[in-house]
Amino acid sequence: MTLLDEVSDKVAGHMDEILKCFKAGAKITVLVRAPDKATGDFCLSDDDLGEVAKMVERRRLAGPDNWSKGNG
């Protein structure tokens, strides 16, 4: 098993737990950016990435006062 496989398995388990907080049918995507190393980016999703991109753009246009709070 590669490191990527190990990380994906661990993240997927956490994604399953997070989805329990939402109504049935919710989609989840985990994006991790490595700004200085494009090959270090990570994406795991049960959704269409085109739809994910649309959601990210909606959130961006809504402005920071409407973003979910997290680290950063």
> What pLDDT score was predicted for residue 72?
44
- Which DSSP symbol is given to 52? H
Residue 71 lies in a domain: no
What are the tens digits of pLDDT across the range 27-38? 999 999 999 998
Domain of residue 32 covers: 3-65
- Of 70 and 67, the structure prediction assigns the larger pLDDT to 67
Mean pLDDT of the chain: 90
Alpha-carbon gap, residue 50 to 12, rounded angstroms: 20
Residue 72 lies in a domain: no
Residue 70 lies in a domain: no
Total-model pTM: 0.80
Total domains in the chain come to: 1
What is Dmax (Cα atoms) for the chain? Answer: 42
Residue 31 lies in a domain: yes
Residue 61 lies in a domain: yes
Taking residues 24-48, what's their average pLDDT? Answer: 94
Residue 27 lies in a domain: yes
Taking residues 32-49, what's their average pLDDT? Answer: 93
